[in-house]
Amino acid sequence: MIVPTTPQLKRMVQYVGFPLLLLVAWDVLVVLAFKVLRWEWLSASHLPLALYGSAIGIIVGFRNNSAYARWWEARTIWGQIVNESRSLGRQLSATMSPNQEWTDAENAERVAMQWRIVHYQIAFVHALRRQLRGFDPVAEVRELVPPEEYADLGREKNIPLALQVRMGASLREARHRGWIDSWEWQSLDRTLNSLTAAQGGAERIKNTPMPKQYNFFPMLFVQIYCLMLPIGMVENLGWFTPLGSTVVGFMFLALDKIGRDLENPFDNKIYDVPMTAITKTIEINLRQMLGETELPESITPVRGVLW
């Protein structure tokens, strides 16, 4: 996710890049043909550019609204994961901390169970991030799960789900041993259900791309409009046609690219939801709840990009 503190004109121009250069070259060719070669037939000042531009703007704007809705839903889902992860850590701290009613050995086992579940949750968010970005999540969880379970996780098709199952099994064991009562178990189980629903929502966005028509036709209309711009302007603007055409074309090209960049929020690009920063924040918060003192560093923007 781009988080610049000041406007970056160079990055904004580079954002459109090669299509903008092609547009400038086309504008110059049209002007030279009209002014130098006297190809007056190349001019078509009667073209209703304003009408075409309004229609294309509506189409591109509608597509961009849909793309941004996908991006914002993805960010909302990860906000839910942050909240539910903190809730899970808080619930476990309240219900499974050492208690005078239990022996030292039982308290040690309770604390060990609490640590195991919290580390499962940390592994879950990291594994989900890696899986959504198309990477192998196994290596990310090596230090967070018991060694005897690491090989088993490598054989799972959906590692975040497998970690959820292990958390549920651990809670069932805690309920069976009397470490949490029925109400506490139900509350923790609801938290796990919310995390599962959030995972399903993220996977739905990942596995359901925007319809191809949403990509192809707006892009085609913008490109045709950019080709028409210098033809419709050259008679009135003359040598200044590249200036007027490039400015207007830049806006349409940028709007078209914005929508295509936002529609896939889990593609490991600079426009993605900053899942690396989010998961690292969750890890820091949960480790603090466990009383750990050696905490990882927060993720900060690099060259105006927060991953």
- The pLDDT tens digits for 4-37 are 665 566 666 666 777 888 888 888 898 888 777 7
pLDDT surpassing 90 at residue 3: no
pLDDT surpassing 70 at residue 226: yes
- Rounded CA-CA distance 71/239 in Å is 42
**What's the confidence (pLDDT) of residue 77?**
95
**What's the confidence (pLDDT) of residue 98?**
64
- Rounded CA-CA distance 227/88 in Å is 56
From the list 222, 209, 214, 211, the residue with the least C-alpha distance to 16 is 222
- Rounded CA-CA distance 78/91 in Å is 20
Domain extents for the chain? 9-67+210-262, 78-208+273-289
- Rounded CA-CA distance 154/143 in Å is 14
**What's the confidence (pLDDT) of residue 47?**
79
* CA distances (Å), origin 39, targets 44, 84, 140, 241: 11, 67, 64, 15
**What's the confidence (pLDDT) of residue 100?**
62
Average of per-residue pLDDT across 43-50: 79
**What's the confidence (pLDDT) of residue 174?**
85
**What's the confidence (pLDDT) of residue 24?**
86
**What's the confidence (pLDDT) of residue 7?**
57
Q: Burial letters for 157-185: b for 16+ Cβ neighbours within 10 Å, e otherwise?
A: eebbbbbbebbbebbeebbeeebbeeebb
Return mean pLDDT, the chain: 84
Task: Give 34's Cβ-side CA count (13 Å radius).
Answer: 25
Residue with tokens 């988080």: 3
**What's the confidence (pLDDT) of residue 6?**
59
**What's the confidence (pLDDT) of residue 196?**
93
Angle between helices 9-16 and 18-35 (to 10 degrees): 80
Res. 278 pLDDT band, cuts 50 70 90: very high
- The pLDDT tens digits for 155-180 are 888 889 999 999 999 889 888 888 78
pTM: 0.84
**What's the confidence (pLDDT) of residue 132?**
92
Tokens, residue 298 = 């927060």
- The pLDDT tens digits for 113-125 are 888 899 999 999 9
Q: Percent of the chain scored above 70 by pLDDT? A: 93
**What's the confidence (pLDDT) of residue 240?**
86
